[in-house]
Chains A and B, each alone.
Chain A
Amino acid sequence: MRIGPSGKERSSVTLTMDPLFLAWSYFRRRKFQKCSNICTKVLEDNPYDQAAWSLKTRALTEMVYIDEVDVDQEGIAEMMLDDSSIAQVARPGTSLRLPGTAQGGGPSPAVRPMTQSGRPITGFVRPSTQSGRPSTMEQAIKTPRTANTTRPVTNSSGRFVRLGTASMLTNPDGPFINLSRLNLTKYAQKPNLSKTLFEYIFHHENDVKTALDLAALATEHAQFKDWWWKVQLGKCYYRLGLHREAEKQFRSALNHQEFVDTYLYLAKVYRRLDQPITALNLFKQGLDHFPREVTLLTGIARIHEEMNNITSATEYYKDVLKQDNTHVEAIACIGSNHFYTDQPEIALRFFRRLLQMGVYNCQLYNNLGLCCFYAQQYDMTLSSFERALALISSDEEQADVWYNLGHVAVGIGDLTLAYQCFKLALVFNNDHAEAYNNLAVLELRKGHIEQAKAFLQTAASLAPHMYEPHFNFAVLADKLGDLQSSYMAAQKSEDAFPEHVDTQQILKNLRQHFAVL
């Protein structure tokens, strides 16, 4: 609708604008590539234009910026060679490493599947929440790397995959700033340049040591009064694995200025130090200053969830939704919690809401299909799974969808279809322990005892944290008269799920027989 009052043809007018202003405007509109290009031209004309240099630095940083709060990846080395742990065996309810010690409200593995570290499967995958710590090096190495963790769907959080290559991505001609030739002392004394430069070094070049040097010089120049530099120091220390030093810096920054990010960073340090209770207290302290802050509430909920305290986690997720009813993580977690507490209809509503909000991926349709099946809306089940299959992006997802289809087939009694579905799940993910277990049950129904035994053993070796294969093997060995194997398998099953009644029964019988002998 562009009708000039006079209706005459307008000649295209090209008006000249100040290039720096244009670049500044592009930066504000997050068109970083254009901004960077203009700055490059300005710098070609005048290499000493600090404003253009600073703007380009900012643009390059923003291109690869990831919120440091969400960056958390623990390598095997850090997990195993941990020198900051206080006690080898933490008291129940005070550690993230002993997840079995729920203070009530934890779901039983009979209802909700567990991850390898013994936590219930969550509704939302985020960095470092699902992996947990393996207790021994052997387990750490043995763990199949198919935990399907990391990379949530929200745009704000991300996984720290970008490393030193980022600089090459944005600058094919070589690095924009040559860090080795930088006179850090000079820049640290210019407060209007140093912060930008720091972020560039930290986020874009990923050179934590240089960044740390700059931050140390700058905070000295600011006479240790700028909280921002302390937070940056803390970030550097955290990256370098000096958690106690990081804690000191964050604490000091909080004394200067209460800030949401600082609370989040500090809580992250405590989580890494395996002090969830301290982290919780800190979050609550943060909530006193910033009431109803969504990120703090989410942090609390995540910790509760990791400590198997699902009831509290759900409460906090509900609080989050009261503040922000479009929070995907909260909706997903509450939804899956409803699903596992036997309320598939309610879970269905949550997942449907996610769909309406525009979340459109394989996992969601997979969950919708399951909810529909358990809520007895059979007409929607298969079409949901069909869509899930159409949206698949990796083999693991495909394996899970086929596995769930196999479940549906078991539910409607079509064992041939179920058998084929489980087989397909194994085709796409050879480590799918659940599929092995269920195949074993189906094989046993066909009377192939050796095959069933083999599948059960495979399942047990792939997923020692699951109690089902152990229990099934115990029952099978018991039937075959192999009491010793049965007893051993039953013991493993008891380790995985101490409250399982049937396992207890088997163990009791076996002990009786052994006593008689």
Chain B
Amino acid sequence: MSLFKARDWWSAVLAEGEEFDQGCLCVGDVDNTGSGYDKVVVGSYMGMLRVFAPHASHPGEGPAAGAQLLEVQMQDPIIQVEVGKFFDFSKCCSGSSRCSELLHLAVLHPRKLSVYAMSGVAGNVEHGDQYQLRLVYEHNLQRTACNMTFGPFGGVTGHHFICVQSMDGVLTFFEQDSYAFGRFLPAFLLPGPLCYCARTDAFITVSSTRQVECYRYETLAVAMDADTRQDLEQRGKSSGKRLTADWTLVLGEQALDICVPSTSPSATSSIFVLGERNLFCLLDNGQIRFMKKLEYSPSCFLPYASVAEGVTNLLLGNHNNMLLVYQDTTLKWAAQLNSTPVAVRVANFPELKGLVVTLSAKGHLLCSYMGTDPSFFTAPKVDAREVNYEEVDAEMKALQKVIRRATKNQGRAPAMDRMSSCQSFSPQQALIPEMNGIAVPSVTVKCQMPIVPLCPVLPTDFHPVPLTCVVFPVLFVSTGSVSQLTVAFSVFLNGHYTPADLTGHIAVTYSSPTGVPRVIQCKFALPLLLVCCPSQASKNAKYKITVDTNQPPVSLSEVFPGTRSNASQSHALGFQLVAGARLTALASRSSQRYRIQSETFEDIWLVAKELVQRLNQHFTKLGVKDFHSSFSGPIPLPEYFDIMDHHFELRLTAGRYEDLLSERAVQFRAVQRRLLTRFKDKTPAPLHNLDTLMEGTYRQVMALADTAEANRAALVEAFSRLRSSTHLLILLLSLWQGLGTEQTAILDATLLPVLQDTPQLGWEESVDAAVSHLLRTCLSRSPKDQAIALSTTQLSMPKDTSRLKKHIALLCDRIGKGGRLSLSSEANTPTPVMMQGQKRVCLHGSVWANRTETPTTYFCPGCPRHTHPSSLSSQDHQSSL
């Protein structure tokens, strides 16, 4: 990532198919012109040695062929080239001190070290000079070489010695044309970079144990010789000292290169080590002076003298094709190269000083300097085709039309639909074959839906318990040819008790063509036949209800036309409820009375209701205007209270079970926690039967949960019975006092708040609240006593039912004394205040917060995507209800 690229000054592509690495580049005044200007020497793994004297190419001149001074094909691969004072002329040619200053070229082959002298002869013609390479001396190596370093080992002046590291860890020292000695490095596995530090006269390398090791030259010189070591070891004695490092420092990573800048400021003598992930600067004694964590993979580096005091500059190439310039740890410049450099040097040329010479593995040789050329990156063009505005306009219009049509349909769809209604009964066998020895009847209900859905249609909601329904087919309708759709489903009893109500309620959900989910619903009455079947009448029963009428009695078979018309039994009719109880309806032969008797109180309700309804219908059909039935009382409150008590008791039990369950759960968790700490403990400890305890608690919890579940089912059943008997109570009350529909509705609302029994809010407390409200308002003894405000205490489960019983008895009593139920007398509605308040609030709130955008800058892809297909639909569901 950089703004700029390195500016080309001179560049060359050396060869195709050749390989280069770290050691293959060096710079120096190799032909000893004495001018101080550098030549670039490059050797390749293919054995090609090239020498360049780059100069700026003038525009229009083309590639400067004259820059290449020499190209020689060697017999062996070249793995390193160095320029140094490798030949001491004082030995051979009578003490010419200047001669020893001459620079020679050392070339390292895998099995050979050669030193060459290069010389140029001025050409006669304009084409240029002629250069030659002359072998000065060479050494054949015993082991495969890896890299080399050179310097004035042992403090000699004027010339350089060479040290070659082999692949198996032998340092071989050559003092010019003579072999000095070879030494094994200890604990060697793979070679690391090698560097000679002239200040301390020591060799620094990074070994396979990932530590920097420093060996003094004198230590090496006196250590055991590599050639003799194997023999000595076989003989079991040694003549030299064991080689030990002067100091070591654990880096924790392998190093790519080590460099001791020769021109570094004297105050800060330092050794630079380029690791694979960090850059280190060490003091001469092996302490870290500073380090820098690199956030990229470096490829090569070169410390060089800085103009500033006390700091060192650093050139660092990395594998992202970047050349970075650091001043100690601060990044000064970042330039982009066109390839990854494997070696970097700084060279002076006649036209320009301090150029950066980089070599890539593929052989791109580049002399460059830091400039402000913009980097290589340019954003590619988005495929911008020529825009034909007319066509685009037309397309846009067409698309807009499509969109508008789609949205219009969506908007038109009615918010709420009603099913036109339904039912064609055809009693048949239910899925459950029989119950209590009686075949369970079933009824098919058909609903007609006014519009055509496209998606599966599913009835979702069905009342009352314990009736269930089964949808025959799952419907898919895909064409618009049908204008009405019929949904059919069968209804049957699925439980061992009788429902309190025979009014069905069904909701159907479907999706409209535009994908908006919709709900339609309807109510329907179910026949009595669903829960009972005719049977023998019985004479005796525990509970009896007698209904008086003001018309002569009719035969029951006329009222219930579907039943068997048995002449002898026309005054008595038996019903066998599927859920178990048996009912008998009797019509008095002489008086205008009808009696319903049963073994259970609550079961009377369904038949009583049916009887009253049918009598009404019958006499309406006959044209009798003033038919009315009545009940002479007394209201069977004790029976009613029994059922209520049963329900309440079950509620209390449910609460007890809940407490027990939570207690056991707490215990279970506590045991679990103890066990967990036991297991996590580092020193194992016995479990102290905690596991047995846990298992026991678990069994208790499960058993309790089962019992609670059974209790819950019983509660549902009891509530259903309670509702039945309450319905019966209301019916009797209204017959008794001849209450109108309005008053019956109030009574209904009071005694049967539409609710499911929940642990938080039960039937008892809500009825109690409603009844006492009635008693305090319209049924109070004198108008003066009428309470003004609603009582606003929290509803909570009462301790027992005595208060409620008292209130209900009082209610019956007051109604019996002629109390009128009405809500109109209550003049204390707070409605107007509320309206005002609303209006005032409406003035506020025209501020709509708009969400500002989300510049989540770098979010990443790849997280699994979870969709919430139901989120929208659930909302729509609500709105369409």
B762 CB–A CB distance under 8 Å? no
Interface residues in B1-28 (C-beta closer than 8 Å to A): 1-3, 12-17, 19, 21-22
A142 to chain B, nearest CB (A): 10
Beta-carbon nearest neighbor of A357 in chain B = B1
Q: Are A434 and B854 in contact (CB under 8 A)?
A: yes
Say yes or no: A328 contacts B1, CB within 8 Å. Answer: yes
Q: A29-B361, A483-B841 in contact; A21/B860 too (CB < 8 A)? A: no
Whether A15 contacts B77 by the Cβ 8 Å rule is: yes
Enumerate chain A residues within 8 angstroms of B329, measured Cβ to Cβ: 291-294, 323
- Which residues between 826 and 875 of chain B lie within 8 Å of chain A, taking CB atoms? 830, 833-834, 837-838, 840-842, 844-869, 871-872, 875
Q: Which of A89-97, A173-181, A208-216, A467-475 contacts B (4 or more CB under 8 A)?
A: A467-475
CB atoms of A455 and B875 under 8 A apart: yes
Band of interface residues on B: 35 or more
Task: Please name 14 pairs of A and B residues whose Cβ atoms are closer than 8 Å in the assembled complex, sorted by A.
Answer: A18-B167, A24-B167, A30-B297, A30-B299, A58-B254, A150-B862, A294-B292, A323-B329, A323-B331, A356-B3, A396-B865, A453-B879, A502-B849, A517-B837
User: Which residues of chain B in 516-564 are interfacial with respect to chain A, using CB atoms and an 8 Å cutoff?
Assistant: none
A207 at interface, CB cutoff 8 A: no
Q: Are A370 and B871 in contact (CB under 8 A)?
A: no
B857–A1 contact, CB under 8 A? no
Spell out A's residues near B (CB within 8 Å). 1-5, 10, 12-13, 15, 17-18, 20-21, 24-25, 28-30, 50-51, 54-55, 58, 67, 110-111, 113, 121-125, 144-157, 159, 191-193, 195-196, 226-228, 231, 257-261, 264, 290-295, 322-326, 328, 332, 335-336, 339, 353, 355-361, 363-364, 366-367, 370, 386-387, 390, 393-397, 400, 403-404, 407, 410, 420, 429-431, 434, 437-438, 441, 444, 448, 450-451, 453-455, 457-458, 461-462, 466-468, 471-472, 474-475, 478-479, 481, 483, 486, 502, 505-506, 509-510, 513, 516-517
The answer to whether B456 has its CB under 8 Å from any CB of chain A is no
Known: A258-B288, A513-B837. A151 touches B209 (CB 8 A): no
Query: Shortest CB–CB separation between residue B327 and chain A, in angstroms?
Result: 10
Closest residue on chain B to residue A437 by CB atoms: B851
Measured CB to CB, the residues of B under 8 A from A are 1-3, 12-17, 19, 21-22, 45-47, 63-65, 68, 70-71, 73, 75-77, 79, 110, 144, 146, 167-168, 187-191, 207-210, 250, 252, 254, 256, 277-278, 288, 290-293, 295-297, 299, 319-320, 329-331, 334, 340, 342, 361, 374-375, 377, 379, 382-383, 403, 411, 415, 830, 833-834, 837-838, 840-842, 844-869, 871-872, 875-876, 878-879
Residue of B nearest to A29 (CB): B361
Q: A5-B68, A323-B329 are in contact. Are A260 and B291 (CB under 8 A)?
A: yes
Task: Tell which of B3, B45, B855 touches A17, judged by Cβ atoms closer than 8 Å.
Answer: B45
**Contact (Cβ within 8 A) A478 B77:** no
Interchain CB contact under 8 A, A13 and B863: no
Query: B875–A397 contact, CB under 8 A?
Result: no
Specify which of B252, B288, B331, B830 is in contact with A228 (CB 8 Å cutoff): B252
Question: Of A121, A155, A360, A510, which contacts B854 at CB under 8 A?
Answer: A121
**Whole-angstrom distance from the CB of A65 to the nearest CB of chain B?**
9
Contact status B12-A15, CB under 8 Å = no
CA distance A290 to B330 in the complex (A): 12
A192 touches B3 (CB 8 A): no
**Given A55-B190, A367-B855, A513-B837: A148 and B860 interface contact (C-beta under 8 Å):** yes
CB pair B295–A295 under 8 Å, yes or no, is yes
Q: Which residue of A lies closest to B50 (CB)?
A: A2
Known: A438-B850, A474-B845. 10 other contacts (CB 8 A): A67-B277, A113-B852, A148-B863, A157-B295, A192-B188, A195-B252, A339-B855, A454-B876, A475-B846, A509-B840
Nearest chain-A residue to B677 (Cβ)? Answer: A83
Q: Are the CB atoms of B189 and A156 closer together than 8 Å? A: no
Known: A363-B859, A517-B833. A358 touches B869 (CB 8 A): no
CA distance A400 to B858 in the complex (A): 12
Let me know if B77 and A17 touch, CB within 8 A: yes
Point out the residues of chain A lying under 8 angstroms from B340, CB to CB: 29
* Structural contact, B146 and A21, CB atoms closer than 8 A: yes
- Give A278 to B867 CA distance when docked, in angstroms: 40
A113 to B849, CA, bound (A): 13
CB distance from A282 to the nearest CB of B (A): 16
The one of A150, A193, A453, A468 in contact with B189, judged by C-beta atoms closer than 8 angstroms, is A193
A10, A124, A475, A502: the one contacting B73 at CB < 8 Å is A10
On chain A, the residues within 8 Å of B383 by CB distance are 390
Candidate in B330, B415, B830 with the most chain A CB atoms within 10 angstroms: B330
For B867, the chain A residues whose CB sits under 8 A away are 430-431
Chain B nearest CB, measured from A139 CB (Å): 15
Please judge, given known A-B contacts A30-B297, A357-B3, A360-B379, whether A12 and B17 are in contact too, CB under 8 Å.
yes
Report chain B residues within 8 Å CB of A50.
189
Q: Do A363 and B208 touch across chains, with their CB atoms under 8 A apart?
A: no
A217 vs chain B, min Cβ distance (A): 16
Least CB distance, A228 to chain B, in whole angstroms? 4
A153/B297 in contact, CB under 8 A: no
A397 → B minimal CB distance (Å): 7
Residue of A nearest to B842 (CB): A479
Q: Which residues of B contact A367 (CB under 8 A)?
A: 855, 857
